[in-house]
Amino acid sequence: MEKPFEELIPHQLELNDIEVLAIEIAHLKKVSSLPFHHRDPFDRLIIAQSLVEQLPVVSIDTKFDEYSVERLW
């Protein structure tokens, strides 16, 4: 039997040691100052979070490289 969403997601996050990164004011401030190399707003937010938190990004999108983020793929 499949678990409901409210049980499945927290279980998988814990099982895979994944931490959800909340959107902070500092991330929004950074995204507002980014150049428009990438037009996707969600990707721009990920880029901003990566820069502010100094975390790598897992992506095959080479546009991320234009922002000097560490991209893992």
Inside any domain, residue 62: yes
What is this structure's pTM?
0.84
Inside any domain, residue 5: no
**Residue partners of 20: CB distance under 8 A and separation at least 6:** 13
Q: How far apart are CA 67 and CA 38, in angstroms?
A: 9
| pLDDT per position as a tens digit, 20-48 | 999 999 999 999 999 999 999 999 999 99
Which whole number is the average pLDDT over 54-59?
A: 96
Q: For residue 2, what pLDDT band results from cuts at 50, 70 and 90? A: confident
Cβ atoms of 37 and 67 within 8 Å: the answer is: yes
Question: How many structural domains compose the chain?
Answer: 1
Domain span at residue 50 reads 22-72
Inside any domain, residue 16: no
Residue 69 has pLDDT above 80, yes or no: yes
Inside any domain, residue 60: yes
Residue 11 has pLDDT above 90, yes or no: yes
Q: How far apart are CA 20 and CA 16, in angstroms?
A: 12
Task: Give bridge partners of residue 57 from the DSSP assignment.
Answer: 71
